[in-house]
Amino acid sequence: MSQEASYKDKKVITIGIVRELTGLSDRQIRYYEERKLIFPERTTGGSRKYSFSDIELLMEIAEKIEDGVQTYELRQEMVKEKKKQEAAKLRNKMIQGQINARFGIR
């Protein structure tokens, strides 16, 4: 299994393109970053770079906020989801280790 990032996760898109694709303003996008809902990379010049996954997440965030969900609630939900994913990853790693041990695979 390759550790290389999927094209969807490569941070190559500027905030202007994100604005056009999502319909969100620069201020909204930056606000979501301030609230720790989105994590763009920064170039050496300080410009933000986003991925396609970030754009999908921004669309989900905007939709939920439109439905009345608060940013704090969104952040809590994201933290729970991340913990769940990490637990699943650890569980899968442990199972793989048990399988490898059982069949003598190194």
Per-residue pLDDT tens over the stretch 30-39? 999 999 999 9
Model pTM score: 0.78
Query: Is the model's pLDDT at 24 over the cut of 50?
Result: yes
Work out the mean pLDDT of the chain and round it to a whole number: 93
Look-up: residue for tokens 């899968």?
Answer: 92
What span, in angstroms and rounded, lies between the C-alpha atoms of 60 and 55? 9
At residue 4 the predicted structure's pLDDT band, cuts being 50, 70 and 90, is low
